[in-house]
Amino acid sequence: MPPSYRVDSVRSSHSVSDVASTVSAGTQATEDDAYRSFLSDVVVVGAGPSGLMLADNLVRFGIKTRIIDDRHERTATGRADGLQPKTLETLRQLRLCEPLTRKGAKIYDISFWNSTAEEKLHRVSREVHYPPVVDLLDNYLLLVHQGMVESVFIDDLKERGVEVVRDMRFNDYEYTPQRVRPVSVSCTNTVSRQQKTYGARYLVGCDGAHSRVRKAMPNSVPMGASSDAVWAVLDGVIDTDFPDLWSKVVVHSEELGSILIIPRERNLTRLYIELKPGSEESTVKERHTEEFVQNRARQIMHPYRLEWRNVEWFGRYQIGQRVASRFNDDDRKVFIAGDASHTHSPKAAQGMNTSMHDSFNLAWKLNFAIRGLAKPSLLQTYEHERKKIAEDLINFDYEHANAFSAGDPEALAANFEKNVAFISGYGVFYSLNVLNTPSKGPHRGLLKPGYLLPPAKVTRFVDSNPVDIQTDIPALGQFRIYFFCHNIHAAMPFLDTVCSAHLAPSSFVGRVTMAGNASYTQQPPLAAPHDQFVCPERYTPVSAVFTYALVTDHVRTQDFEVEMLPPIVRDSKWTIYLDDMAHKDTRNQKCIDKWLGGLDPNEVAVLNVRPDGYVGCVRRFKNGSRESGFEAVKWLDQYYEGFMKDT
């Protein structure tokens, strides 16, 4: 049986050293030497959104993780502020979304304003931010301060007995392959100047655009260039008669440059102000004072009044669009994520989102690697998948930034419409590899290997709750195996064959379950007190590695009860779904129709979903017979043999 979840409660008033000693058995191990070297499975450098997303997931999985940061406290002002729909979905699966949606500003539209020497400032158009062409559960951009996002992760880590080690600067690392923890990470406390050495299996640099980890990693250099565009950014409370202040607004002045207006939480507004390329003041940093930038904004916004009641943050930047040549070292013991691996302009609200999904992609792969359940091919997919996404982002950002600076509202709107799926996060897809394998037979429906699950509504059988099937199962670092059928009785031989095989060592998947359950028993997931409301044990009743689910449109009658189902499915009662909620779907479609393009009356389909929510593979079987079931067992074994280990 899979393990129970371990709760280590640590009072937040404890110091970092107190925490380390209190939870040494569960989260940190120590070794006394001249520098009091600490041993971990993973050392994460950088406690921004990327580093915190990685650390929080690893800690939840039960991986001994230390996260260090050279700052004294979390981000207080400025920096990133926009969460895209896919990021909200990910946070919802982590059960961390609600505090942010409650406090943030939601943006549903975008307007374009323009002025020339002949025409005063006027609205050119207003558009829906995410048009219906993109199938979204959350069709808005959520504006929250980066520090608020960091706080959600920091609080969750504290509940699990882990705190960020502050004022700790990464210096360098050494790799000694003969050691159990082959990566020695040297650091300096910036306050006491004391040297520290951390021993780890893996090192991950989430330490920003000027990443010291990237610089220490061989053969990884940023590739790209900086543009001539210079921008200033102001966060503050604005007093104005401009009518669209609470929409996302692009303002362009033919003579003076552009402004991007972003509503924020707490009545704040962010303004990105272009210091027009080619002008003298755009090249002289000393002239880029807060007062100068405010005056430039007033000139661009004329004839509307624009005053600041207060300014919370002011900064300047020059756009750099770069992607690191490598995202990991040759031994795949050192990785980089977030701004350490890619940089771009901030105007499309992509940086924090892409950075967190770098980490979300890497976390579950490190978990299986550390537990000895992964072949080398699994960690190889991190650079393969995320480097391409970074390159796609840079290509989009180059077009978007140029259209923005050119001030052509039609070109900018066309660029946004062309890329809106990518911008939202739902259009981000991975190419074929060992994780994303092509389907056999004809393709129907929206499910594709390497793509995300579209939103779909179903009824949870056990309690009759309508749920969003793509987010109902929390992200616990496990694969999801879905069975789809029309008639439960006709599919019973198929289900019984697969379930029996997956409970026995005769199948590869069964052996992975046994090895995984043994690993999680020895090193269990680290729970927090609030996890009692998530009830993670509902989703891993049989296997710590796989969550099984059944989706059917079989009518709920007396001839369909959970107890009649074969083992595994019967034990997974919280993930049995009735496909009867088309009237509440975003497209008015049933899940089976939307995802699979329908099923023939006797067909059974099986879907593998990766721990990060992407489709791994999907296949139809002609009927619910035992012969089809044996075929499914073989197919599932072949898929997981590509990247998992059973011993």
What pLDDT does 276 receive?
Answer: 67
- pLDDT (average), residues 232-244: 96
Confidence of residue 30 (pLDDT cuts 50, 70, 90): very low
Q: What is the DSSP letter of 374?
A: B
Domain assignments of the chain as residue spans, ordered by start:
34-103+144-223+321-418, 451-642
| Contact present, 323 and 21 (Cβ < 8 Å) | no
| Contact present, 185 and 207 (Cβ < 8 Å) | no
pTM: 0.92
Distance CA 452, CA 134 (A): 12
Distance CA 439, CA 619 (A): 6
- pLDDT (average), residues 586-604: 97
Confidence of residue 347 (pLDDT cuts 50, 70, 90): low
Confidence of residue 402 (pLDDT cuts 50, 70, 90): confident
| Contact present, 45 and 207 (Cβ < 8 Å) | yes
- pLDDT (average), residues 123-149: 93
| Contact present, 226 and 388 (Cβ < 8 Å) | no
Q: Do 34-103+144-223+321-418 and 451-642 show the same overall fold? A: no
What class, spelled out in words, does domain 451-642 have in CATH? alpha beta
Distance CA 561, CA 566 (A): 11
> Per-residue pLDDT tens for 315-344?
888 777 899 999 999 999 999 999 999 988
Write down the architecture of domain 34-103+144-223+321-418 according to CATH: 3-Layer(bba) Sandwich (3.50)
Residues of the chain above pLDDT 90, percent = 77
Q: What is the largest CA-CA distance in the chain?
A: 80
> Strands 604-609, 615-621: parallel, antiparallel or unpaired by DSSP?
antiparallel
Q: Token digits for 564?
A: 């009649």
What pLDDT does 228 receive?
Answer: 67
| Contact present, 60 and 83 (Cβ < 8 Å) | no
Q: Token digits for 422?
A: 């990518």
| Contact present, 28 and 335 (Cβ < 8 Å) | no
For 575-625, where are the alpha helices, taking DSSP H only? 591-596
CA atoms lying within 13 Å on the CB side of residue 317: 16
What pLDDT does 401 receive?
Answer: 75
Strands (DSSP E) contained in 387-532 are: 457-460, 465-468, 479-485, 526-527
